[in-house]
Structure formats: structure tokens, C-alpha cells
Structure 1
Amino acid sequence: MSPPATERSRMLIGAVADDFTGATDLASGFRRRGLETVVIVDPAAVEPATYAGVDAVVVALKSRTAPVDEAVARSTAALSWLVEAGAERFALKYCSTFDSTDEGNIGPVLDAFRDRLGVERVIVVPAFPANGRTVREGRLFVGDDLLEDSPMRHHPLTPMTRSRLRDLLAPQTRATVTEVPLQDVRAGADALRSTLDDAPAGYLVVDAVDDDDLVTIGRATAHHRLLSGGAGLALGVGADDAPAPALPAEFSHVTGRRLVVCGSASAATRGQIAHAAATHPTRKVDLEAATAGPAAEIAELTAWVRGLDADAVPVVYSVGDPSDVVAATDRATSDATPDAAALVETVLSTLVHDLVADGTVGRVVVAGGETSGAVVTALGAPALVIGPPLGPGVCWSAATTSGGRPVALVLKSGNFGAADLFSTAWEALS
């Protein structure tokens, strides 16, 4: 993205996201609200002044499951970059299912942000009703199920066995955690503002069950310098009647074939793979072969994609059914084999890199937060320009690789997207 043509000296909001799919998720929400938006992948490679006049900038990190000290250091470095870029307000974006452990990383990063910015109160609003994430009586729901009864209970890295956000956050922070019930939200923005301003210093877990609640929360916290939550935060920023943005010019430079890669084990992604298998060529990563020699497995997959018809949409995936998750977990517990998740990330990210680098592929859908981070890192793209949405939490983005190749990317959380996404995503670029 070229430096903005606007003459504003400060960006309206700068956000730090703890994974790449979350970054594009929030950025897409900002764009739908009429804000010119860019995602920064490598702040060290970009001068803050370059984007000082952009409405919204989101820094994408791969810190959700990193060691706490590393997550705090990288997040505060990103925050300092946004401060230097002149952001008026700031946000920490985390997953709408509050993915974390008792050690972090949400609480420690929030504590560091509060200290850096000198703020007293910060809202905690993971609710994203469009994707079934709501907060009622301080408890997080996934659809009709409490978080602890949802598939997130069995997440291999951040198993969510409790639903009350205060109980999840309190072990991670030294600050007070206060609950703000739905009746206070429904009292209106002015009344809610007073309630929040009178609350104890610390974190304020605010109920929200629909988009109107998020809009109210946004208006009530328009004076807050720091926000925290899921992509639903975007509903409170920007104009209510913003016109639909045009397709950014960067997409006109994208050429090449299509590809889908899936590193997610979520039920939604498995359903998308099954749907695609009826009409698209699919191939599963051979973990045994990859363990013996990743380069050989990558070469096999690369040759397979190149050998298909130019108009095909190949789908390369790691998990097709729940038994694959068990097998991968068993493999990861063996000292004699590499970590299965890291191995899949290496195979899929290198596959994408190699096919984009030689011009074979130019449009890629990536399923899975960790896989998305690995793919963007492998491509060496310093920034992403946000393009058309594909549904709640899913959008196209455009980038230029370190080798100068333009590429269009969908970075999709494993849990998001319609069942036919792998077949229909391309229509938004036509």
C-alpha cells in the first residue's frame, strides 16, 4: 500500500492483534465502517510515519500461544510503534473465545499496555455476535453453549474449561476485574459511560449479546484511550452510514492460479474441506513422509499442484476428521518426532511460498491462525491491504512478497467462514 493521500496527521486507532487471522478480522471490520485500513506484519521493516495518516492500523503478531515474556515484549514493541505513528486510540485484539491459559497471554499483555499508556480502566469485550460469540452475566457463550461446553474445551494449546470471563482473566493479572451486566448496556450509551467511569480501576467485562450492544459500548467508550476485545470492537469505531469501499488498486496486480491450504483442526474447517472435496482436487499432508523429510513432502505437494489444470482450486489440508487430531497429538508426544503442528506449518507455508515465488499461484485461502502467521512470514510481506469481506471475520487482503510478487490472501480463523467458502471466495475478486 502506498502512503495515504489524506492530510491527517494522526491515525484514529491503532490495534495490536495476537494472531494474523484476528488482525485481518478486526481490520475488515474497520474497513466496513468506512475506515482506510492496513495491517502491518513486520513493524521493524516499516517506518511509523509511513502510515501516520491512515484511519486504522492493525499490527499482526503471532503471540497468542508464545511464552508470556515473549508475548509481552513483542506486543509492547508493537504498541510503541503505534504510539510513534501517532495513533489517537489503541486496542488489543484477542480471540472471541478468549483463548488463553492461567498464565496468559491476555492479562499480562493488557497489564503492560495499561502501564505503557497510563490508563485506569479497560473494557474486556470478546463478544462477536455475528459469529455466535456472546457474553451474558459475565459468561462467554459459543452459539447456545457455554464456552466450557463448546469444542474449545478440547483445544490442544488453550483448552477453555471455564466460561466466566472474570475467572479466566483474574489469574492472569494483578488488576481488579469487574463485571458490567447487560441491563447497564441496555440503559444507553450515556448511562453506560457513567457506569464505566464510576467502576473500580482495572478491567471491565461488559455483557453484549447483539451488534446494537457493541455499538452502544463503542459510543460509551469513545473517550477511552485503550480498548480490548474481539473483532466486534470495530462496530463502535467509524461511521454508521459509511459507503461500501471500492476494491483497493493493489488487487488489480494479482495474477496466477488459486490454492487453499488448511492447517486448522476445527470442525468448521473440516466441514469446508469436506464440502470442497466434492468438486475440487484435495490432498492431505503426509505427516509420516514430512517427518522423514519435509523437503520431499513439500516437493511432492508442489508438483501435484503444478500438474493440475490451471483453473483448478486445489485444497491441501492436514486434518480431515477427528481421528487425524488424535494421530497428530500422539505423534507430537513422541520425543523422536517433530511437533506435528510446527511440521504442518512448515510444509504449508513453504508450499505457498514456493508456488507464489515462481508465479504459479497468486490467490490463496489459508485456514488456521497459526498457519496464516506462518504463511505470511514465509512470504515476507511487510503489510496487508484489506479488501472485500467474505462474511463475518473473513476477508481478502493484498500484499507484496519480499521477492516483489503481488498476492491476494484470505487469512481465516479455523472456526469461521461458510461451508462453501473454498468454492465461493474467489467471486469477490472478479
Structure 2
Amino acid sequence: MYIGAIADDFTGATDVATALRDRGLRTTVVIGDHDIPSDADAVVVALKSRTAPVDEAVAASVRAADRLTAAGAERLYVKYCSTFDSTDEGNIGPVLDAVLERVAADRTVVVPSFPGNGRTVRDGRLFVGGTLLEDSSMRHHPLTPMTKSRLRDILAPQTRAALTEIDLPTVRSGPVALRSAIDAAPAGYLIMDAVTDDDLAAIAAATAHLRVLSGGAALAAALDAPAGTSPGALPDVGAGRLVVCGSASAATRAQIRDAIDRGAAARQVDVDAALADPRVEAAVLADWVRRLPDDALPLVYSVGVLTDVRVGSADASAAVEHVLSALVADLVGAGDVHRVIVAGGETSGAVVQALGVTALHIGPQLAPGVCWSVGTAASGVSVALVLKSGNFGAVDLFSAAWKELA
């Protein structure tokens, strides 16, 4: 195995798996603690650890690192979101601390930049579409509100490791000079400026000797990986469609509006009903989907406008996850739905776990960081899934994605 990756949510797992697949590597996403395949060039372990308690996130990440190392992974890759979603407690810093200690590595790079999706780092500060992270829509994230833009300031409360910023002129000084700067820095975390894909390619070349890398998916796309066997086509699945959205991001809200404008049958989760009894609300929504015409595109969402967000309400977020995951599991298990687009990292994790999927085969890319995949549910039914970070994808994604499975 050339590389083993540890992703802190399920959308991030398919995101980095797509990047590795596009490098010619036979890539599989493994869910949680399930078996690591022996015939893959790259394996991504998908965890639901981004907002888990720190000790749980660390323990799950260390288990994944141990299993990947035992399976022969030459390098490890700690994958987090390109908007660096975390809190003062973690989990990015504590997970990096634990993984590096586990493999006796003394340093790694921190590279969330994803230029294809508008995430760049300059002067140590993270920008989203040209706007500082703290001024972007991520400031209002209900679970990980990002109120700082300087990565050093975000990481400092999470780790005691030394934090060194590597500026853009150094990144662009050539791979030999950049490697020298990396090796000369204090042991710890090197926060890398990167504004273009060429910058990421330079970082990838200069870090080929590091046992552990960390970043968003775009750095993985720059790795000079050995070519593997070209992956085959995804298996066929049935035609029933569904979109579920647990994300409050501006991109997902725009995608919801666009799908409704194009004729999608849309219904919003009743959060109060979900808090009272999520099973009942899921059953109500499932009945609504089943009564739609066969050619309808059902779209179930939790946030249509920003004022729908219940900031700081973990109970509301958990109830919505429960409703949407139970809805998908019900409809897929009954054979009513075979193709599902899921928007939101936490929601994606809940859906995959509710389905009982243990591994995902990665298929065609729909947009940077967004792809189709196919897994087998616990019921034995094959299901095609798009697990989409809330911020990713073109505005017409919910309407256009289906043609890739035709």
C-alpha cells in the first residue's frame, strides 16, 4: 500500500479518495474499524471524528493508523476539511499529535489549501473564495464556528507542538530549498502557504521523505504516486433517487434553491418534531417520499435560510442527523431508493452508519472533492452515494449528478 489516509468525516474520505484515484491508485474507502483490503494501492479510513470528544477522536485515529501501518502503508495522510473545521479543544491538533507519536515522526506539514474550491493560505491565513475564513459563512457553522483565520491561532490551543509558518516565497523557491526549510524548522507542525495547484505540487515534492502528511484533499492530488491498475466502472444500481441535506452552508442552500427551481419535490425537516421523536419525523418524511411520482426528485433538507440554524444546539443537529439517516436507511432498505446525494459531513457519516455500509468503491468525479461511490448496505442492497461536503459542488449538482450513473 502506497498510502493510508485517515479522514475525520465521510465526505472528507471520499474527497481524498477521489484525489488518490485520479493519481492512478486503486483506492478503497473503509468505514471505521472494518477490514482493510489487501489489494489496494491506497486505503482511506473514514471516521466520524471531526466533532467527536477529543479522546474518542484520538483513539479512533490511532486505531486507524495502526491498522493501516500493519497493512503495509508506506505513508500516512491525516485528512481534515479545507476550512479547518475544529474548536479550541481540537480535534486536528490532538489527532496529529497522536499519529505522529505513534509512528515516531517529529514533524509534518499543515496544508488545508484547495485552490480548485477557493481555499488558499497566504501569510499563514486561510481564505475561502478570497474572503478570510473568519469573515466567511463558516463563521456561522453550528458545530465548528470558525472565528479565526490564522491557522497558527487555531492550532495553538489544541497542541503544544511548535508551529512554524512557511511563507509563499519559500514554497516557490524550488523543491530543494523548500525541503531544506522544512528540515531546518523546529520539530512540530509546518503551516504552508499555498495559493495555486503548482504550490501544492512543490510542497508534495519537497515532503516526499515525510512519513506523515496532513491536509485537505488537494495536497493528495499533487502526490507523485506510482501508477496502479485503472479502477473499473461502478456496479449498476436501481433508479430511485433522493437528496438529503443536513448542511447549513451557503453552497448547499444555493444548491437546494436551484434544485427546487428545476422542479425537485422539496420538504424541510420539522426540527421541533425531530427533537420530540426523530423516528416519527423520519417515518412521516418516508411516507411523503413514497407518495411522490416515480420520476420525482425528492429533496429533504434542514436549513433553507441561515435563520433556520439553531446555533449551538447540538441536540437539534443530532436530531436532524437521526431523521435524515433513518429516512435513507428506510427507503434504501425497502428498495424505494438506490441513488442518494447527501450534503454535509456529519449527515454523511450518520447515513453511511445507518445503512451499515462497510466500504465504498470510488467512482466518477462530479466536481473537485465530490464523487459518486457505491457500497453495499447491511441489507445486501447496493446503493450509490454522493457524500458531499456542504461547501462543495456546482450550484446545479443536485440536478446534474444523476447523468453520471446513466
Coarse TM-score class (shorter-chain normalised): over 0.9
Does the 8 Å contact 1:247/1:388 carry over to 2? no
Query: Matched residues in 2 for 1:167 and 1:348: separation?
Result: 35
Aligned to 2:254: 271
Is 1:116 matched up with 2:99? no
C-alpha displacement of 1:56:
0.8
CA gap of 1:294–1:156, structure 2 versus 1, over 3 A, is closer
Deviation, 1:208, is 0.3
Instruction: Measure the CA separation in 2 of the matches of 1:323 and 1:103.
Output: 27
Following TM superposition, by how much is the alpha carbon of 1:246 offset from its aligned partner in structure 2, in angstroms? 5.5
Name the SS for the 2:328 alignment partner: helix
CA contact (8 A) 2:278 2:320 kept: no
Instruction: Report whether the alignment pairs 1:345 with 2:330.
Output: no
Which of 181, 187, 190 aligns to 1:201? It is 187
Which residue of structure 2 lines up, in the alignment, with residue 417 of structure 1?
Answer: 393
Q: In the alignment, what sits opposite 2:242?
A: 259
Please give the per-residue CA displacement for 1:224-251, whole angstroms capped at 9, x wherever unaligned.
Answer: 11000111121222459x79956534x2
Cα pair 2:6 2:64 within 8 Å, conserved: yes
1:91 maps onto 2:74 in alignment: no
1:228 aligned counterpart, secondary structure: strand
Unaligned 5+ segments in structure 1 are: 1-10, 333-337
Q: 1:293 Cα shift?
A: 2.9
Give the 3-state SS of the residue equivalent to 2:191 in structure 1.
Answer: strand
SS state at 1:341 partner = helix
Aligned AA for 1:105?
N
State which of 102, 119, 125 in structure 2 corresponds to 1:133.
Answer: 119
Q: Structure 2 matches for 1:29-48, cutoff 5 A?
A: 29-43=19-33, 45-46=34-35, 48=36
Are 1:304 and 2:288 counterparts?
yes
Which residue pairs with 2:9 in the alignment? 19
1:148 aligns with 2:148: no
> 2:30, 2:195 → 1: CA distance?
31
Q: Give the fraction of aligned pairs with identical amino acids, expressed as a percent.
A: 63
- The whole-number CA distance in structure 1 between the counterparts of 2:211 and 2:276 is 51
- The offset of 1:425, in angstroms, is 0.5
Give 1:335's aligned residue. Answer: none
Contact 2:25–2:228 (Cα < 8 Å) also in 1:
no
1:313 matched residue in structure 2: 297
Structure 1 residues 293-350: Cα deviation after superposition (integer angstroms, max 9, x where no partner): 323222221111111122221101111111211xx348x4xxxxx8111111111100
Aligned equivalent of 1:360: 336
- The one-character-per-residue Cα deviations of 1:205-232 (angstroms, maximum 9, x if unpaired) are 1110000111111111111110001111
Report the Cα offset of residue 380 of structure 1: 0.5
State which of 372, 375, 378 in structure 1 corresponds to 2:348.
372
Query: Gaps spanning 5+ residues in structure 2: where?
Result: none
Shift of 1:291: 2.9
- Offset of residue 42 of structure 1: 3.0
1:183 equivalent in structure 2: 169
Task: Give the C-alpha shift of residue 120 in structure 1.
Answer: 1.2
Structure 2: distance between partners of 1:307 and 1:68: 43
SS of 1:153's partner is helix
Aligned to 1:5: none
**Amino acid in the other structure paired with 1:415:** N
Offset at 1:199?
1.4
Contact 1:256/1:359 (8 A) holds in 2 = no
Which secondary structure does the structure 2 equivalent of 1:361 belong to? coil
Aligned partner letter, 2:256: I
- Partners of 2:264 and 2:145 lie apart in 1 by 33
Residue 40 of structure 2: aligned partner: 54
Amino acid at match of 1:188: G
Q: What displacement does 1:292 show?
A: 3.1
1:387 corresponds, among 334, 350, 363, to: 363
Q: CA deviation at 1:62?
A: 0.6
Whole-angstrom CA distance in 2 between matches of 1:233 and 1:239 = 12
Contact 2:140 2:311 (C-alpha < 8 Å) held by counterparts: no
Q: Identify the residue that residue 215 of structure 2 maps to in structure 1.
A: 229
Aligned residues: 405
* 1:79 matched residue in structure 2: 65
Structure 1 residue 155: Cα displacement: 1.7
Determine the C-alpha separation between the residues in 1 that align with 2:181 and 2:300: 50
Code of the aligned partner of 1:111: D
Structure 2 Cα separation of the partners of residues 70 and 14 of structure 1: 20
Aligned position for 1:284 = 268
Say whether the 8 Å CA contact 2:114–2:216 is kept in structure 1: yes
Report the Cα distance in structure 2 between the residues aligned to 1:130 and 1:357, rounded to whole angstroms.
36
- Asked if the contact 1:34–1:238 (Cα under 8 Å) also holds between the matched residues in 2, the reply is no
Name the CA distance, whole Å, in 1 between partners of 2:131 and 2:96.
27
Which secondary structure does the structure 1 equivalent of 2:156 belong to? Answer: helix
Helix, strand or coil at the partner of 1:98: coil
Q: Which moved more, 1:172-181 or 1:191-200?
A: 191-200
